[in-house]
Structure 1
Amino acid sequence: MARYIVKSLLQMIPVLLLISLIVFILVRVTGDPVALMLPESASEADRVALTAALGLDKPLLVQYGIFLADALQGDFGTSFHYGQSSLPLVLERLPASFELAAAAMALAVLLAVPLGILSAVKRNTVLDLLISGVSVIGKAMPNFWMGIMLILLFSVYLGYFPVSGRGGFDHLILPAVTLGVGLAAQMTRLIRSSMLEILSQDYIRTARSKGLSELVVVGSHAFRNGLIPVVTILTLQFTSLIGGTLITETVFAWPGLGQLLVTSVNNHDMAIVQAAVFVIAIIVILGNLLTDIVYRLLDPRIKYS
Structure 2
Amino acid sequence: MTVYLVRRLIQALFVVLAMSLIVFVGVYAIGDPVEILISPDADQIERERAIVALGLDLPLWQQYLVFLTNAVQGDLGRSFVFNEPALRLILQRMPATLELAFGATFLALVIGLPLGLYAGLRPNASASKTIMAGSILGFSLPTFWVGLMMIMVFAVQLGWLPSTGRGTTCSVLGFIGLQPCSSGVQWSFLTIDGLSHMVMPAVNLALFKISLVIRLTRAGVRETMLMDYVKFARAKGLSPARVTFVHVFKNIMIPVVTVVGLELGSTIAFSVVTESVFAWPGMGKLIIDSINVLDRPVIVAYLMIIVMMFITINLVVDLTYSLLDPRVRLENKGT
In 2: Cα distance, 1:59 partner to 1:45 partner: 20
Q: Which residue of 2 aligns with 1:133?
A: 133
Checking the alignment, whether the CA contact within 8 Å between 2:97 and 2:282 is kept in structure 1 is yes
CA offsets, 1:138-189, max 9 Å, x none? 2211111111111111110111111100021100001111111221011101
Of residues 259, 275, 287, the one that matches 1:261 is 287
| Superposed displacement of residue 74, structure 1 | 2.3
Q: Which residue of 1 aligns with 2:231?
A: 205
| Superposed displacement of residue 237, structure 1 | 1.5
Cα 1:59–1:269 change in 2 (3 A) is: closer
TM-score when normalising by structure 1: 0.96
In 2: Cα distance, 1:179 partner to 1:58 partner: 41
Q: Which residue of 2 aligns with 1:190?
A: 216
TM-score when normalising by structure 2: 0.88
Among the aligned pairs, what percent are the same residue? 41
Which deviates more, 204-213 or 30-39? 30-39
CA offsets, 1:68-116, max 9 Å, x none? 1112222222212222111100011110011111111111111111111
Which deviates more, 33-42 or 285-294? 33-42
In 1: Cα distance, 2:201 partner to 2:36 partner: 33
In 2: Cα distance, 1:84 partner to 1:202 partner: 61
Q: Which residue of 1 aligns with 2:325?
A: 299
**Which AA in structure 1 matches 2:292?**
N
Of residues 201, 226, 231, the one that matches 1:175 is 201
Q: Report SS of the residue matched to 1:106.
A: helix
User: Does residue 1:67 correspond to 2:67, yes or no?
Assistant: yes
CA offsets, 1:185-235, max 9 Å, x none? 111011111111111100000000000011111100111111111012211
In 1: Cα distance, 2:216 partner to 2:135 partner: 11
**Which AA in structure 2 matches 1:248?**
T
**Which AA in structure 1 matches 2:236?**
K
| Superposed displacement of residue 123, structure 1 | 1.9
Checking the alignment, whether the CA contact within 8 Å between 2:155 and 2:162 is kept in structure 1 is yes
Cα 1:55–1:155 change in 2 (3 A) is: closer
Cα 1:155–1:55 change in 2 (3 A) is: closer
- Whichever structure has more helix as a proportion of its residues is 1
Checking the alignment, whether the CA contact within 8 Å between 2:80 and 2:296 is kept in structure 1 is no
Q: Report SS of the residue matched to 1:91.
A: helix
Q: Report SS of the residue matched to 2:330.
A: coil
Cα 1:15–1:31 change in 2 (3 A) is: same
Q: Which residue of 1 aligns with 2:188?
A: none
Aligned residues: 305
In 2: Cα distance, 1:84 partner to 1:63 partner: 18
Which deviates more, 117-126 or 213-222? 117-126
| Superposed displacement of residue 31, structure 1 | 1.7
Q: Which residue of 2 aligns with 1:147?
A: 147
Q: Which residue of 1 aligns with 2:156?
A: 156
Checking the alignment, whether the CA contact within 8 Å between 2:54 and 2:80 is kept in structure 1 is no
In 2: Cα distance, 1:227 partner to 1:288 partner: 16
Q: Which residue of 1 aligns with 2:306?
A: 280
Q: Which residue of 2 aligns with 1:90?
A: 90
Of residues 251, 269, 275, the one that matches 1:225 is 251
Which deviates more, 290-299 or 22-31? 22-31
